[in-house]
Every structure is written in structure tokens, then in C-alpha cells.
Amino acid sequence: MKRALPGTETVKAAIDTVLAEAAARGRRPTVTAIERLLDIPHATFHRRYADLIDVHFRPRIPALARPATPTEPSGSDVRTEANLSRLRKGNTDLRRTLALYEEAIRQLAIENDALRSGGTVLPLPSRSTPAPPGPS
């Protein structure tokens, strides 16, 4: 048995309640808080009340306070940036290694297929080995 969904005025009252509670606690109001207050699943709430979210809720969300002047990076910010830089370099190295392995696997798969089908295998020069001189 399906339960009845609340009416527009009930949802507006819930939105007002969530906005007031968030302002009192110094937090940002969320649609999830409205859904919990009304005990409505997320998909159902968005399907039925999307217009109320756009018209009655979002325009009333206070803007985030931004610092007036940029702050100097603290010691932990510098360490965080250094750590991120190290991780990015590691990811780049791993991507290069992965590309090499993919190429090796591709070549082995071609050789395996040729051997199983009775064909002849021509060794391909690797990137690090120069190609043998050919007829000029």
C-alpha cells in the first residue's frame, strides 16, 4: 500500500523549518534534511517536488561566507601541496608503466594467435632496440 505524499504547503513548511534550523546552527541547509524531515525517499522527493526546490528552497539558501583577503599558506597547506605533487608524479609514472605493459601484452597476444593458427612469427623490434638495416 502506498502512503500519501504531503501537499505543497506541508513541503513548504518543512523547507522553512530546515532553513530556520540551519540558520540557528550556523550550517548550510540541504535537500536531504527536508527529505528526512518528511520521510520521503530522495528520488520521489525530486520527482514530485523539483519545482519547490528550485523556487522555494534554493533562492533562500544563504551565500557562503568567503574570506575577504587571501591567507598565506600554513605549514600543513605546504605539506599537502607537496604530497599532492608527489602523488601526481607517481600517478604519471604508473600510467607510463601501464602503457608499456599494455603494449607488451598486445604483442604477446598477436604472437600467441599467430603460433596457434600455424602462422610464422616475425619478431618486431622493440622501441629501445634499433631496427636492423634494410635494403637501401
Q: What pLDDT score does 129 carry?
A: 55
Q: Where is average pLDDT lowest: 30-34, 72-76, 104-108?
A: 72-76
55-102 pLDDT per residue, tens: 988 888 887 655 555 566 666 788 888 999 999 999 999 999 999 999
Q: What pLDDT score does 20 carry?
A: 92
Q: What pLDDT score does 114 carry?
A: 83
Q: What pLDDT score does 92 carry?
A: 93
Q: Where is average pLDDT lowest: 22-26, 42-46, 54-58, 129-133?
A: 129-133
Q: What pLDDT score does 69 carry?
A: 57
Q: What pLDDT score does 108 carry?
A: 93
Calculate what percentage of the chain has a pLDDT beyond 70: 80
Per the listing, cell 591567507 goes with 71
Per the listing, cell 536531504 goes with 32
Full DSSP string of 48-77: HHHHHIIIIIGGGSPPPP--SSPPPP-HHH
Is the CB of residue 32 less than 8 Å from the CB of residue 42?
yes
Q: How far apart are CA 76 and CA 84, in angstroms?
A: 12
